[in-house]
Amino acid sequence: MSKLTGIRACVFDAYGTIFDFASAVARCRDIPDDKRGALTTLWRDKQLQYTWLRALQGRYVDFWQVTGDALDFALDSLGIHSPALKTQLMDLYLTLSAFPEVPEVLRSLREAGFVTAILSNGSPAMLESAVSAAGLSSLFDAILSVDAVGTYKTHPSVYQYALDQLGVLAREVSFQSSNAWDAYAASDFGMRVVWCNRYSQREERLPGKPDREIRTLTQLPALLSLAR
């Protein structure tokens, strides 16, 4: 796989890329086994749908509110009625597990001189909590939330915000996301994109095209080893 050149900053999506969003349900013992998979999928799907719809409507609320609303929908759809369980799951979402390769990959990028950052739909408090709980605070130069922009991915203003904050050009960014829709949008914006296709998604029929596709972030340093 050919290497990316001219990269100054490595910017990562958070949920699904750095953090395993399924780990909240996986760590909760009070969910019936036969509903775990459905709850994880429905919660995530509705969470994303609400961000897209709110962005279209111009009705922004932060990602904590969206995540809670999506969980309400998912629990109700599955016939689970427990305020205590909702509270437990929301608390677990603040301390999602990082994927196992993440710390080593981030350390190697920083040692090579790359700027490292998160660009996420997550609220500042959610991101700070997850990063701290995973022991990653010292491995990021910046944690960037759409909250500062007041809309959600895939609005171009979100990707522009990252450039403004990091002081780089779009072509100088390697953007990593496990979400195909996010990867394609960042590519259409002009960033170099590495699609971390953890979930074996199909290619999107959308503007943009990721520059590279990998299965885990373990493969990222090799793509950038000759970039500086």
> CA-to-CA distance for 11 and 222, rounded, in angstroms?
16
- For the stretch 96-136, pLDDT in tens is 999 999 999 999 999 999 999 999 999 999 999 999 999 99
Low-confidence ranges of the chain (pLDDT < 50): 226-228
Cβ proximity of 150 and 60 under 8 Å: yes
Which residue reads 């760590």 in tokens?
27
Query: Could you tell me where in the chain the CATH 3.40.50.1000 domains are found?
Result: 9-20+96-224
pTM of the shown model: 0.95
> What local confidence, expressed as pLDDT, does residue 228 receive?
41
> What local confidence, expressed as pLDDT, does residue 102 receive?
99
> What local confidence, expressed as pLDDT, does residue 225 receive?
77
Which residue reads 């373990």 in tokens?
218
CATH superfamily of this structure's domain 9-20+96-224: HAD superfamily/HAD-like (3.40.50.1000)
Q: Which residues have C-beta within 8 Å of that of residue 154, sequence separation ≥ 6?
A: 181, 182, 185
> CA-to-CA distance for 191 and 187, rounded, in angstroms?
5
> What local confidence, expressed as pLDDT, does residue 2 receive?
76
Catalytic residues: 13
Query: Could you tell me where in the chain the CATH 1.10.150.240 domains are found?
Result: 23-93
Tell whether omega for the bond before 154 is within 30 degrees of 0, i.e. cis: yes
Q: Which residues have C-beta within 8 Å of that of residue 127, sequence separation ≥ 6?
A: 14, 118, 120, 143, 145
Give DSSP secondary structure letters for 56-96: HHT----HHHHHHHHHHHHHHHTT---HHHHHHHHHHHTTP
Q: Which residues have C-beta within 8 Å of that of residue 14, sequence separation ≥ 6?
A: 118, 120, 121, 122, 127, 130
Residue 146's SS3 state is helix
**Cross-sheet strand order for the sheet of 142-145:** 142-145, 115-120, 9-12, 173-177, 192-196, 212-214
Domain 23-93 fold: DNA polymerase; domain 1 (1.10.150)
Residue 120's SS3 state is strand
